[in-house]
Homo-oligomer: A and B are copies of this chain.
Amino acid sequence: MEVFERSFEESVASLETMLRNGRMTRFRTEFLALHNYDQAKIFAEFDSEERQKVYQYLAPGEIADVFDAFESDNIQLSEGYFLEMENSYAAAVLGEMFADNAVDILNSIENKEKVNIYMHLMPNTSAREISQLINYIDETAGAIMTTEFVTIQEEFTVKQAYDHLKGAAQQAETIYYVYVVDEDNRLKGVISLRDLIVNEDDSLISDILNNRLITVQVNDDQVEVAKMVQDYDLLALPVVGFDHELLGIITVDDVLDVMQEEADSDYSGLAAVDVNENHATPIQASKSRLPWLVTLLFLGMGTASLISQFEGLISTAPVLSSFVTLITGTAGNAGTQSLAVAIRKLTNKSEEDAFFASFWFELLTGVATGLVVGIVIAIVASIWKGNLFLGIIIGVAMASAIVVANLAGSLIPKVMVKFGFDPAVASGPFISTLSDLTSVFIYFTIASLFLSHLS
């Protein structure tokens, strides 16, 4: 991997020196030669005084490229940068950015007064594009699409289409697909640039266009969009409205960001923590982790008070207490496994399997798993404690606890989806804390029934 000719720190230091010494020309030469992503990384290192110099030295279009390269999780930072610019400069930068990225930034600015000012100071064409995009719901196709694409009519020849594309190449976010629309802007087909290149100049677009269209609706979930682009190996995917009119396109680089975002949120959900936490101090890190921990602590109090009811049983047969954590722990592990499988199936949505079919499947999986683990622990416990009945109690309790945890892990996320909640809230820690309660109840109830044999 080689991106910088010298180290990142050296590049930053040398550019900072140029800014501080007012060496505009050298700064521009060095900075503009870098890839936009590297420019963005370096820009984030500058302090506010240095950034003011940058705003003087770079044209709005040049700094717009830098902001276009910002990662979606750094959008929050951008707000501060825009607020420290002159209003007219900020508006010009936003106008020069790709409309979808400009919308992300405008949406992150809390002060809506400012947003209005920017929209007014911006060139009309940009303001129009942005206001078309700004109202789409977060995480839908509409919210991640761009309106900068190239359209042609089907009467065009290949040559005409190619020349039209050439003229539009500077503006469009991708030129590798050209969309064919009718006079009402309804999508009729798509032509790839590869098709334009390999066909004869005088071929008619209507003869070569691909009309087996793969499209998404503007309100489709971004996960569905990502799945389509991934399955069909697309570089861009057209977004249509209810009358099949072409509203925008989603490019593969935005899909990469969506996939990263979704993977992070699934992973965070399973662990009940924001894995992208980037906290400066341990106090901040604990603040973000404590809400879940304390919530689960109170849920766990239920288990504690349940065990409390069985204190009499435990003082009669203290041997029982040795196996409490083993049973709750193993059931929790089984629950976490079936939870993870269930959540992944829900997010992939490829299979909308029937609720009862999956109920039976998970029940039987739980029974099979529970039987094996139950028999193993029954044998081990019988030999270890020299008490066959104790072994049987532990084994039966373990098997039942696993069956219940397995069902809970697979059904709770489905129930949550049915009631409109995000299934990812049912995290691994949540399922194991919940299954502690049922496991303890099962264990001590079974033990009470066989108490007479435990001596």
Which residues of chain A from 336 to 392 have any CB-CB distance to chain B below 8 Å in the complex?
336-341, 344, 361-362, 364-365, 367-369, 372-373, 376-377, 380, 384
- B interface footprint on A267-278 (CB within 8 Å = 1, 0 otherwise): 110111101110
Q: Are A344 and B308 in contact (CB under 8 A)?
A: no
The answer to whether the Cβ of A326 comes within 8 Å of any Cβ in the partner chain is: yes
Q: Are B325 and A321 in contact (CB under 8 A)?
A: no
- B interface footprint on A259-294 (CB within 8 Å = 1, 0 otherwise): 110111011101111011100001101100110111
Residue of B nearest to A370 (CB): B286
Instruction: Tell me which of A16-24, A50-58, A104-112, A295-303 binds B.
Output: A295-303
Q: Are B341 and A326 in contact (CB under 8 A)?
A: no
Question: With a CB–CB cut-off of 8 A, which chain B residues contact A372?
Answer: 286, 290, 294
How far is A340 from B229 in the complex, measured between Cα atoms in Å? 28
Our pick among B271, B362, B364 for the contact of A428 (Cβ within 8 Å) is B271
The answer to whether the Cβ of A433 comes within 8 Å of any Cβ in the partner chain is: yes
Question: With a CB–CB cut-off of 8 A, which chain B residues contact A71?
Answer: 231
* With known contacts A294-B373, A323-B304, A369-B286, A333–B429 Cβ distance under 8 A: yes
How far is A169 from B305 in the complex, measured between Cα atoms in Å? 71
Which residues of chain A from 401 to 455 have any CB-CB distance to chain B below 8 Å in the complex?
428-429, 432-433, 436, 440
Question: With a CB–CB cut-off of 8 A, which chain B residues contact A121?
Answer: none
Our pick among B166, B289, B376 for the contact of A198 (Cβ within 8 Å) is B166
The answer to whether the Cβ of A160 comes within 8 Å of any Cβ in the partner chain is: no
Instruction: Tell me which of A77-85, A122-130, A132-140, A311-319 binds B.
Output: A311-319
* With known contacts A194-B175, A232-B37, A307–B322 Cβ distance under 8 A: yes
How far is A337 from B2 in the complex, measured between Cα atoms in Å? 34
Q: Are A277 and B322 in contact (CB under 8 A)?
A: no
A224 → B minimal CB distance (Å):
6
Say how many copies of this protein the assembly contains.
2
The answer to whether the Cβ of A241 comes within 8 Å of any Cβ in the partner chain is: no
The interface size bin for chain A is 35 or more
Q: Are B333 and A270 in contact (CB under 8 A)?
A: no
The answer to whether the Cβ of A256 comes within 8 Å of any Cβ in the partner chain is: yes
Q: Are A321 and B307 in contact (CB under 8 A)?
A: yes
The answer to whether the Cβ of A248 comes within 8 Å of any Cβ in the partner chain is: no
How far is A37 from B330 in the complex, measured between Cα atoms in Å? 41
Residue of B nearest to A273 (CB): B337
- B interface footprint on A187-209 (CB within 8 Å = 1, 0 otherwise): 00000011001100000000000
Q: Are B255 and A256 in contact (CB under 8 A)?
A: yes
The answer to whether the Cβ of A6 comes within 8 Å of any Cβ in the partner chain is: no
Which residues of chain A from 130 to 172 have any CB-CB distance to chain B below 8 Å in the complex?
165-166, 169-170
Q: Are A368 and B321 in contact (CB under 8 A)?
A: no
Q: What 7 pairs between A and B have smallest CB-CB spacing?
A: A271-B340, A263-B263, A282-B364, A273-B337, A286-B368, A333-B429, A282-B365
Footprint of B on A, CB under 8 Å? 1-3, 33-35, 37, 69, 71, 165-166, 169-170, 175-176, 193-194, 197-198, 212-217, 220, 224, 228-233, 235, 252-253, 255-257, 259-260, 262-264, 266-268, 270-273, 275-277, 282-283, 285-286, 289-290, 292-294, 296-297, 300-301, 303-305, 307-308, 311-312, 314-315, 318-319, 321-326, 328-330, 332-334, 336-341, 344, 361-362, 364-365, 367-369, 372-373, 376-377, 380, 384, 428-429, 432-433, 436, 440
